[in-house]
């Protein structure tokens, strides 16, 4: 990178870290460290909620998803507005009245300690793995920019972030999120401007998007009810609804956000901000990926965006085969560029429908040839190198940023990616530390101690979960689109956790025996579906929630109802404490 880009990155990171350290006062008290003394304004909480999601995963994984699959991924978020409205009316006021540190505290009041413990452990595992995926995103960027080994880049990013998180509490995290939210959006806008400016002078934006639409990149809605198809209207509205109800209603990383708000109304406003703005922002991110596709129609991209294994392949006995693929790719690129120009010209000149249809067919065929060559090149890398899960989706956006963007823009986007990742990781580690200390350590190991001791233990927990996340990150970057990986991890756990809270809040006769057995049954059902069927991961949330609710209700009725484990009394106690 140019020294100007380096300056932008360094100045921004120093500013963010300094802000976090400056706002870390009053963190010696447990409520100040974990909940900012419940004093934050709604707009800051709302921006923090959105910034946690608009992490480096979004900039790296979702843009790559837009490049490869187009806008269809936006259907994933169709259930979000409804989920936010439901949670604003139910869970938000409930948790605020209960005066809890974590969502899982309430489960012991309502059911029993074992249900609380198992649910908290499931959260710790799912969120710990997801945090690893978040760390993997900037590591991908570093590996492209510097040519470093991926493990080294993970440690280079992860260790400083762990230190920063230890020093600051949730208040520092939230205000850092507010700043980085604006930088992320600014970085995306800068990328869009650079992509549009990079199109040939005789190719308009509308014509470029029309060309992308010929190969399905602009298709947003799929109304087919196919549970094996990852992204459809129904998987987003139903599976996505269950996922977001669980994520924002039962996941400590999000519950902790609106528990920091000044009041119930302010907490509601913070969630409704996401309900209205998340989908438009996601369209902007995906559109950036689509525009990268149109940009690379006229500007030759590398055959493989992930270049780390290319030297090994070129030095192998199959080097000639790889060279032949590169020659075929270059020829295919020229053919596709000519076909794209012919399609643009046919549309601009208003030629006969038959002529435009012919140009469109030629372009679609040329694009299929490019995809076929890339697929064979990936297979060759898998055969020759130890990388048996080779995937370069996450390297598309970094390649564009580092090789094609003008000086200054590169630094802005790299700074946005780093800041987004650091803020998101800090938020995740803070919630992991909260659940570890409140639901495990204080409950079972050291019930009585002062706040200073618990804050110190939370810092040790932060170190543990940070190192765990770094370990997960070493293989997460190779598992495909990072935005899909993080949601796959979540979908394995979220539905079952949601089912437990449905029993707690919506089934009066549910008891601890039913909740515990239902939770185990739900996890087993999700595991079975994931291992034996091709069901899209969004539907796993529905499976988990339904199985837990049904099994939990039946077991509760068989074992004596709410009175069997004091569930009804626990619910009353919780309400009384509010």
Return the sign of the alpha-carbon dihedral for residues 227, 233, 237, 242: positive
87 close to 487: Cβ distance less than 8 angstroms? no
Distance CA 547, CA 495 (A): 9
Query: Is the pLDDT confidence value at 131 over 90?
Result: no
390 close to 306: Cβ distance less than 8 angstroms? yes
Helix (H, G, I), strand (E, B) or coil at 40: strand
Give pLDDT tens digits for 223-264: 888 888 878 899 889 988 988 898 888 888 888 888 888 888
Mean pLDDT of all residues in 457-465? 92
Mean pLDDT of all residues in 421-429? 79
Query: Is the pLDDT confidence value at 137 over 80?
Result: no
Q: What is the dihedral of CA 7, 9, 14, 15, to 10 degrees?
A: 100
- pLDDT value at position 422? 76
Stated pTM of the model: 0.80
- pLDDT value at position 323? 95
Residue holding tokens 């590398």?
302
- pLDDT value at position 39? 78
**Residue 334: Cβ within 10 Å count:** 12
**Residue 509: Cβ within 10 Å count:** 16
**Residue 361: Cβ within 10 Å count:** 13
Going by pLDDT thresholds of 50, 70 and 90, the confidence category of residue 351 is low
What count of residues does the chain have? 578
Query: Is the pLDDT confidence value at 569 over 60?
Result: no
Give pLDDT tens digits for 154-210: 887 788 778 777 776 677 777 777 877 888 788 888 889 999 999 998 899 999 999
Going by pLDDT thresholds of 50, 70 and 90, the confidence category of residue 23 is low
What dotted CATH number matches 40-199+219-291+420-577?
A: 1.20.1730.10
- pLDDT value at position 188? 86
Residue 400, token pair as written in the block = 């564009």
pLDDT above 90 covers a percentage of the chain that reads: 35
Give pLDDT tens digits for 24-59: 665 667 777 777 777 788 888 888 878 777 766 777
Least confident window among 43-47, 448-452, 468-472, 476-480? 476-480
Least confident window among 212-226, 323-337, 379-393, 451-465? 379-393
Residue 124, token pair as written in the block = 């710790």
Helix (H, G, I), strand (E, B) or coil at 261: strand
Distance of CA 286 to the CA centre of its chain: 14
DSSP 318: T
Least confident window among 111-125, 289-303, 473-487, 552-566? 473-487
Give pLDDT tens digits for 155-167: 877 887 787 777 7
Run of H or E residues at 193? helix 170-197
Q: What is the dihedral of CA 9, 474, 457, 427, to 10 degrees?
A: 50
Domains of the chain by residue range: 40-199+219-291+420-577, 310-390
């Amino acid at each position: 990178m140019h020294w100007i880009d380096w300056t932008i990155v360094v100045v921004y990171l120093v500013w963010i870290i300094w802000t976090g350290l400056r706002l870390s006062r009053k963190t010696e008290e447990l409520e100040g460290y974990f909940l900012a003394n419940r004093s934050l304004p709604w707009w800051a909480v709302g921006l923090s909620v959105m910034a946690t999601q608009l992490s480096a995963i979004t900039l790296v994984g979702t843009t790559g998803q837009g490049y490869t699959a187009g806008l269809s991924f936006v259907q994933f978020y169709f259930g979000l507005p409804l989920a936010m409205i439901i949670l604003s009316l139910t869970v938000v006021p409930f948790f605020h009245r209960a005066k809890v540190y974590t969502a899982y505290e309430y489960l012991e009041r309502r059911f029993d300690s074992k249900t609380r413990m198992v649910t908290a452990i499931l959260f710790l595992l799912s969120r710990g793995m997801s945090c690893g995926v978040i760390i993997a995103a900037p590591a991908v960027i570093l590996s492209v920019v510097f040519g470093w080994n991926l493990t080294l880049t993970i440690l280079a990013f992860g260790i400083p972030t762990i230190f920063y998180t230890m020093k600051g509490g949730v208040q520092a995290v939230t205000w850092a999120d507010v700043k980085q939210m604006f930088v992320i959006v600014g970085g995306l806008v800068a990328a869009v401007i650079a992509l549009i400016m990079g199109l040939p002078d005789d190719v308009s934006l509308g014509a470029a998007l029309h060309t992308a639409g010929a190969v399905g990149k602009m298709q947003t809605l799929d109304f087919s009810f196919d549970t094996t198809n990852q992204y459809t209207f129904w998987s987003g509205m139903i599976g996505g609804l269950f996922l977001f109800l669980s994520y924002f209603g039962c996941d400590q990383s999000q519950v902790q956000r609106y528990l920091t708000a000044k009041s119930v109304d302010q907490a509601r406003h913070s969630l409704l901000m996401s309900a209205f703005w998340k989908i438009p922002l996601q369209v902007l991110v995906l559109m950036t990926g689509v525009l990268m596709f149109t940009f690379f129609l006229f500007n030759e991209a590398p055959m493989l965006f992930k270049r780390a294994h290319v030297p090994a392949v070129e030095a192998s006995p199959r080097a000639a085969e790889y060279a032949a693929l590169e020659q075929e790719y270059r020829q295919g690129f020229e053919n596709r560029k000519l076909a794209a120009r012919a399609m643009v010209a046919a549309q601009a000149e208003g030629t006969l429908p038959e002529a435009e249809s012919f140009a469109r067919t030629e372009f679609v065929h040329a694009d299929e040839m490019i995809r076929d060559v890339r697929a064979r090149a990936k297979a060759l890398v898998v055969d020759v190198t130890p990388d048996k899960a080779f995937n370069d989706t996450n390297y598309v956006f970094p390649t564009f940023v580092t090789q094609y963007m003008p000086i200054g823009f590169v630094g802005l986007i790299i700074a946005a990616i780093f800041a987004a990742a650091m803020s998101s990781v800090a938020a995740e580690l803070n919630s992991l530390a909260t659940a570890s200390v409140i639901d495990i350590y204080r409950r079972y190991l050291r019930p009585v101690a002062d706040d200073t001791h618990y804050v110190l233990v939370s810092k040790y927990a932060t170190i543990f979960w940070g190192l765990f996340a770094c370990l997960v990150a070493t293989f997460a970057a190779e598992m495909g689109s990072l935005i899909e990986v993080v949601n796959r991890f979540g979908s394995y756990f979220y539905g079952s956790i949601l089912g437990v809270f449905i029993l707690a809040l919506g089934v009066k006769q549910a008891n601890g025996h039913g909740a515990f057995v239902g939770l185990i049954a739900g996890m087993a059902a999700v595991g079975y579906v994931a291992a034996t069927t091709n069901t899209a991961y969004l539907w796993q949330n529905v499976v988990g929630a339904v199985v837990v609710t049904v099994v939990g209700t039946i077991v509760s009725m068989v074992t004596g109802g709410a009175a069997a484990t004091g569930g009804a009394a626990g619910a009353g106690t919780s309400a009384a404490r509010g």
